[in-house]
Structure 1
Amino acid sequence: MLAHLHDDPGRLTYRDGGDVQDGSVASFYFSDSSSWETETVEILERLTDHEPILDVGCGAGTHLLWWADRGVEVIGVDVSPNAISTARERGCERVCVGDMHTLPVATDSVGAVHAVGTQLGLGRSLAGVRAILEEFDRVSHESGIAVVDNYDPTRLDESFLGYRSDPREGIAHRCFHFEFEREIESSGGTPTHHGCREVGRTLQFLLCSPERLREAATGTPWVVADVLRSPESEHYRAVLEKENKKGKTAVEY
């Protein structure tokens, strides 16, 4: 992200063994809202009434900037120092480095938690997802809401990069790592024959269906109020509300 911002993008890829997928930095982290899915904008608009909003895994700050342009109070957290540097250089003010498992945010200090990019799956198990939801509960108001996303394994197969099956219905796993390559210029500005290649650690995600997400939320103050996704899409977003709104029936769009 930071290299892209500085016009030295190189190439980012997702890799699982011999399977490779382009990292699409420009479209994932620097896209204009005019190119976003309708569901993305609807979610962002829905959260505007619950400020301050905590964007967990804020990346380059694209969603933070969208809210800030509309006068919404926002806070960004990302585990990557370079992501936070990128967001700051783009004009995001309240951003800091932090881990979603132990957020650097005061208890009961935000109205909404926005955590998309399937990072909830980094809990790696239903129990791990539950622990993350409990941390989201800690930092949010009693009437707070949260938005998370994931891929539904019942709509996936082994063609999905990093896919690992699981015998349980509605559960699967995903493993891959990032690789970043770029040429290093000599002092004279001519690219050398030797490039820079950085390899990230292997990431392990839990993939779970909306039904399994509801199971993971059991024992936390959260209930899944809405599930939003396009017809036949494997990707979905879930809106979670605190139990004091439990009377609402979950609806899938």
Structure 2
Amino acid sequence: MPGPFAQALYDHHFGEQSGPLRYRNGEEIEEPGVEIYFDEAAPEPDDWLPAHLDGPLVDLGAGAGRHALAFQERHGTVAVERSDLLVEVMEDRGVRDARRADMFALREHFERDRFRSALAVGTQTSLARSMRGLRAFLGDLAYVTAPDGTAVIDGFDPDHERTRGKLDYYEDPSDGLAYRVMQLEYDGTLSEPWLYRLFSPDRVREATAGTGWRVADVRYGDDGWDHLFEVTLEKR
């Protein structure tokens, strides 16, 4: 059975949305609006993000395909999602190569050195759930990217005040770590809890040990997004 997140995006895209998508933490509720997942992502060639990517490119946790649509003209792009519904949405929106695959099992889906760059923005890397899980993900990502490959991932800084104010934030006594535990609800269906492990950039740097990556750059957002960071990874 499709999860609430995929079903809500699918219904929105095809004009059949029957109610809001809700984020829940017990009785606390937020309704972010699914439109945000369809916003255009059209960076200029001299913007920060395109400067760190090359093709062929894999877009991990691609959602409704906003980044794949922005980059596929410039780079051969493969968009990856776990849901058949989201793959169908991406294809209908014009993503040329959308595939059902698990971003945390990349070796099962792609051969060694398949891509020149990888993109995982939307904080989905935090679904690795632990430092060990993050390190395993980075190792798999190194396997499917070329020896001179790059990657860009993002996350919410667990020590930032805005992150601490999130609906589903839970503290951790360790420096640079925290949790988010969130459930999604749509059309009467409540998802299993989504467990996010929040990592600071220093913790990402720690997790790269032994994976073949190094942190080349860290950039924080602005205009109310200064709690969101993007990390550029390069092969050692």
User: Could you say which residue in structure 1 is the equivalent of 2:154?
Assistant: 149
User: Could you say which residue in structure 1 is the equivalent of 2:39?
Assistant: 31
State yes or no: 1:230 paired with 2:221: yes
1:193-212 alignment runs, 5 A limit: 197-212=188-203
Residue 131 of structure 2, aligned match among 126, 138, 141: 126
User: Could you say which residue in structure 2 is the equivalent of 1:171?
Assistant: 177
SS in 2 for 1:154: coil
SS in 2 for 1:130: helix
Q: Is the Cα–Cα contact under 8 Å of residues 52 and 112 in structure 1 kept in the other structure? A: yes
Structure 2: runs of 5 or more not aligned: 1-8
Residue 91 of structure 1, aligned match among 69, 91, 94: 94
> After the TM superposition, which segments of 4 or more aligned residues of structure 1 sit over 3 Å from their partners?
none
State yes or no: 1:109 paired with 2:114: yes
Q: Cα distance, 1:198 vs. partner?
A: 1.5
SS in 1 for 2:62: coil
Q: Is the Cα–Cα contact under 8 Å of residues 22 and 29 in structure 2 kept in the other structure? A: yes
User: Could you say which residue in structure 2 is the equivalent of 1:52?
Assistant: 56
Residues 114 and 106 (structure 1), Cα distance of their counterparts in 2 relative to 1, 3 Å cut: same
Q: Cα distance, 1:81 vs. partner?
A: 1.4
SS in 1 for 2:151: strand
Overall identity of the aligned pairs, in %: 32
Q: Is the Cα–Cα contact under 8 Å of residues 59 and 119 in structure 2 kept in the other structure? A: yes
Deviations 1:109-152 (A, max 9, x none): 10001011111111111111000001111110000001100111
SS in 2 for 1:204: strand
Residue 67 of structure 1, aligned match among 58, 71, 80: 71
How far apart are the structure 2 equivalents of 1:11 and 1:139? 37
Q: Cα distance, 1:158 vs. partner?
A: 4.3
How far apart are the structure 2 equivalents of 1:199 and 1:3? 16
Q: Is the Cα–Cα contact under 8 Å of residues 176 and 204 in structure 1 kept in the other structure? A: yes
Q: Is the Cα–Cα contact under 8 Å of residues 158 and 164 in structure 2 kept in the other structure? A: no
How far apart are the structure 2 equivalents of 1:43 and 1:56? 19
Q: Is the Cα–Cα contact under 8 Å of residues 47 and 53 in structure 1 kept in the other structure? A: no
Residue 23 of structure 2, aligned match among 14, 30, 39: 14
SS in 2 for 1:82: helix
Q: CA RMSD in A?
A: 2.0
Residues 54 and 212 (structure 1), Cα distance of their counterparts in 2 relative to 1, 3 Å cut: same
State yes or no: 1:3 paired with 2:6: no
How far apart are the structure 1 equivalents of 2:118 and 2:226? 24
Aligned length: 222
The two structures have a TM-score, normalised by structure 1, of 0.82
Residues 230 and 163 (structure 1), Cα distance of their counterparts in 2 relative to 1, 3 Å cut: same
Structure 1: runs of 5 or more not aligned: 182-196, 244-253
SS in 1 for 2:21: strand
